[in-house]
């Protein structure tokens, strides 16, 4: 199956700093990528949809100025958590949708990035 990677796999930062998380589709081109957040013992929550070359679409309640998303190429999307605070500590997961129609409804998920804000 297709592979999606995330970097870093975990990060610890101080409150007030910004953190960038990368999501890469390694063996396919992804027109659309998605960013999720998951708190302990909870389900995944969709944060935003990222389309290559256009602005991200954020879900209701997600601050677009705090969670900056850039999808500059068909294989890379980045999520920047700006001015991070302890309540932003979470597991951030990206997914990518491929171009091929036979897998048109299949999303491939990255392994996730654990962010801890001190």
What is the binding site for another protein (CB under 8 A)?
Answer: 1, 4, 6, 32, 34, 36, 43-46, 49, 91, 93, 95, 97, 105-112, 114
Nearer to another protein, 86 or 104 (CB): 104
> Sign of the C-alpha dihedral, residues 21, 47, 53, 5?
positive
**Min dist. Cβ of residue 97 to another protein (A):** 5
**Min dist. Cβ of residue 116 to another protein (A):** 14
Residue pair 39/110 in contact (Cβ under 8 Å)? The answer is no
- φ/ψ (deg, to 5) at 29: -95, 130
Nearer to another protein, 66 or 109 (CB): 109
**Min dist. Cβ of residue 16 to another protein (A):** 27
Residue pair 46/61 in contact (Cβ under 8 Å)? The answer is no
Nearer to another protein, 16 or 111 (CB): 111
In terms of DSSP bridges, do strands 113-117 and 10-13 run parallel, antiparallel, or are they unpaired?
Answer: parallel
Nearer to another protein, 14 or 43 (CB): 43
Q: Which of 93, 78, 84 is closest to 21 using CA atoms?
A: 78
First to last CA, the chain: 37
């Amino acid at each position: 199956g297709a592979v999606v990677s995330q970097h870093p796999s975990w990060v610890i930062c101080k409150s007030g700093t910004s953190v960038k998380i990368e999501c890469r589709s390694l063996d396919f081109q992804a027109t659309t990528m998605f960013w999720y957040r998951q708190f302990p013992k909870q389900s995944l929550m969709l944060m935003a949809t990222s389309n290559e070359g256009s602005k991200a679409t954020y879900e209701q309640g997600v601050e677009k100025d705090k969670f900056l998303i850039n999808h500059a190429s068909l294989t890379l999307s980045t999520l920047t958590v700006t001015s991070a605070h302890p309540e932003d500590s979470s597991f951030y997961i990206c997914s990518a949708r491929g171009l091929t129609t036979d897998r048109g409804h299949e999303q491939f998920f990255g392994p996730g990035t654990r962010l801890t804000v001190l």
